[in-house]
Each structure stands twice: as structure tokens, then as C-alpha cells.
């Protein structure tokens, strides 16, 4: 009786010991699963936007099938007898992010150069110094044309702290139509206004140039450009115009980011 009782107590103690050890080793069962979806969405929104803003290979402002309207002014400084200041506009349509076409035109504001004033007011001036005995140098009246625009290089840089500004380097080339006025008169100060005949001529030609565009906003950019124009000069006194300009452009909405 006593032996049987002792054996039963020993078996019960062994079972309790084994059960306690197993319970201690088993992982606790959580009461409820924590919902982190709101935090995940917020992180995805932040880092996704950050990646879109800083990735150099991605344009912040896609331009495929978008329109750009530019107002610009500049200077044509390389004519001996005049300095010209173009005031004009450009219209661009982009077929892809890198390739587009442009229509442009500018009216030329003319001021005489110091050498021109000297020739016309010097009493001992030889008329042939102006390039012809009976003609004054032609003056640019307007410039217009159509261009193909290609942007092979683009990137981003930081401006005003964390603000990223997009830029692109572009090449423009195409057809030009330059309007000139030719005044026929005696080449001296006394007879310039007497019996003078002014002839308007449209001169076909071409142009090639380079530029830099700074895209500050989705709809606003600045352009800095140099263009070299070519046409059949009326005389040696009129070289091919070299144009330096700066403009501000406005974009229509559109483009898939």
C-alpha cells in the first residue's frame, strides 16, 4: 500500500515537471496583431516622392506633346555700323522629351554705332568707307524662322537649399528669314535725308545655335541662348548676325511623370 502510494506520487511529480518545462519553452501567443498599414503608406508616400524628385535619370517635368511659349530679348553686336536689340517670341512643340520643333520671330530695335556716327559727321569722310559710294549699310528689320530643337543633355542641381532645379542643354538649327532695309543716298551727313530711297528685302538663310533651359516650375522656365545666322549679305559691311538672348517661357499642362 505504501509502495503503491509512493509510486503514484513519483509519476504525478514527473508528469508535472515535464509539462512545466514544455510550457516554459513554448512562445507566448500574442493577444492581437498590430496594424501598421497607415505607417507603411506614409513611408511609401514620402520615399516614393523623394525618389521621383532626386533621380537624375528621370525628368521632373516631362514635355512630350507639350507646348512652350517664350518671350525673349537680346543683342546682335557684331555689325560695324549698327547694334541691334531683338524683341520677339518663340513657340515650341515637343514630340518627345528630347526632340521638338520651334517657330520664332523678332523685331529689331536699331541704334547706330559710334563708328557709324563718326563716318556720317566727318566732313572729310570718304564715302567708300561705308562699303559703297551710293548706298548706306543695310539694317536688320526683323528675323524669323523655324527650328528643330534637340536636348541631348539634362540634369538637376540644388538651388535655394533643398529645392531641385531641372536644366537641359539644347541645340537648335533650321531655316531663317531676315528682313533688311537698304537706303540709297549720298554717303554723307548733308544728303542722307534728301532724295533717299529705302528698299525692304527678305533674305532667306539658316541658323544654328545652342542654349540652356532652367526649369524652375512645372509651368515656368528661363532660357539663355546663342544663335549664329547665315544669309547672303548685301555687301561686305553686313556680316552674318550673331544673336545672344535671354527669355522666359511658359508651359501648358501635360506630360506623364
The DSSP call for residue 133 is S
- What is the pLDDT tens value at each position of the chain, 257 positions in all? 555 555 556 665 565 555 555 444 545 555 556 667 666 666 566 555 555 544 555 666 788 999 999 999 999 998 777 899 999 999 999 999 999 999 999 999 998 877 776 666 665 554 444 444 445 667 889 999 999 999 999 888 775 665 678 899 999 999 999 998 876 655 454 555 555 567 788 889 999 999 999 998 889 999 999 999 988 765 555 668 999 999 999 999 976 65
- Total-model pTM: 0.69
Q: Which three cell numbers stand for residue 128?
A: 567708300
Say what the pLDDT of residue 7 is: 53
DSSP-derived letter for residue 64 is T
- pLDDT value of position 10: 61
User: How many Å apart are CA 252 and CA 257, to the nearest integer?
Assistant: 15
What pLDDT sits at residue 238? 60
C-alpha cell at 144: 524669323
Identify the pLDDT of residue 142.
Answer: 94
C-alpha cell at 151: 536636348
Query: At a CB cut-off of 8 Å and minimum separation 6, what does 102 contact?
Result: 90, 91, 92, 93, 146, 147, 148, 149, 172, 174
The 10s digit of each residue's pLDDT in 144-166 is: 999 999 999 988 877 566 567 88
pLDDT digits (tens, 9 = 90+) for 77-95: 987 778 999 999 999 999 9
Output the pLDDT for position 24.
47
Please report the pLDDT score of residue 138 as a whole number: 77
What pLDDT, on a 0 to 100 scale, did the predictor assign at position 132? Answer: 45
E-assigned strand segments in 49-98: 67-75, 82-94
| 1's grid cell | 500500500
Instruction: Write down the architecture of domain 69-251 according to CATH.
Output: Beta Barrel (2.40)
> Which residues are CB-contacts of 35 (< 8 A; sequence separation ≥ 6)?
none
Q: What is the pLDDT of residue 143?
A: 95
Determine contact, residues 170/213, Cβ cutoff 8 Å: yes
Conformation bin of residue 129: beta by default, left when phi > 0, alpha when psi is -120 to 50: alpha
Domain coordinates of the chain in residue numbers?
69-251
Amino acid at each position: 500500500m505504501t509502495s503503491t502510494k509512493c509510486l503514484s506520487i513519483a509519476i504525478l511529480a514527473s508528469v508535472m515537471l515535464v509539462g512545466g518545462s514544455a510550457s516554459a519553452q513554448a512562445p507566448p501567443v500574442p493577444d492581437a496583431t498590430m496594424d501598421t498599414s497607415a505607417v507603411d503608406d506614409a513611408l511609401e508616400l514620402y520615399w516614393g516622392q523623394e525618389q521621383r524628385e532626386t533621380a537624375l535619370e528621370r525628368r521632373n517635368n516631362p514635355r512630350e506633346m507639350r507646348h512652350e511659349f517664350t518671350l525673349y530679348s537680346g543683342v546682335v553686336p557684331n555689325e560695324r555700323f549698327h547694334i541691334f536689340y531683338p524683341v520677339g517670341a518663340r513657340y515650341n512643340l515637343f514630340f518627345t522629351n528630347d526632340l521638338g520643333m520651334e517657330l520664332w520671330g523678332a523685331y529689331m530695335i536699331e541704334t547706330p554705332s559710334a563708328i557709324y556716327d563718326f563716318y556720317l559727321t566727318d566732313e572729310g569722310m570718304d564715302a567708300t568707307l561705308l562699303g559703297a559710294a551710293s548706298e548706306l549699310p543695310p539694317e536688320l528689320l526683323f528675323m524669323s524662322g523655324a527650328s528643330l530643337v534637340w536636348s541631348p543633355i539634362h540634369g538637376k542641381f540644388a538651388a535655394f537649399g533643398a529645392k531641385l532645379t531641372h536644366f537641359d542643354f539644347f541645340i537648335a538649327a533650321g531655316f531663317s528669314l531676315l528682313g533688311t532695309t537698304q537706303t540709297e543716298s549720298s554717303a554723307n551727313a548733308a544728303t542722307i535725308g534728301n532724295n533717299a530711297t529705302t528698299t525692304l528685302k527678305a533674305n532667306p538663310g539658316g541658323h544654328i545655335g545652342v542654349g540652356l533651359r532652367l526649369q524652375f516650375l512645372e509651368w515656368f522656365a528661363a532660357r539663355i541662348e546663342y544663335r549664329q545666322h547665315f544669309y547672303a549679305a548685301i555687301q561686305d559691311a553686313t556680316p552674318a548676325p550673331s544673336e545672344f538672348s535671354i527669355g522666359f517661357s511658359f508651359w501648358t499642362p501635360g506630360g506623364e511623370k
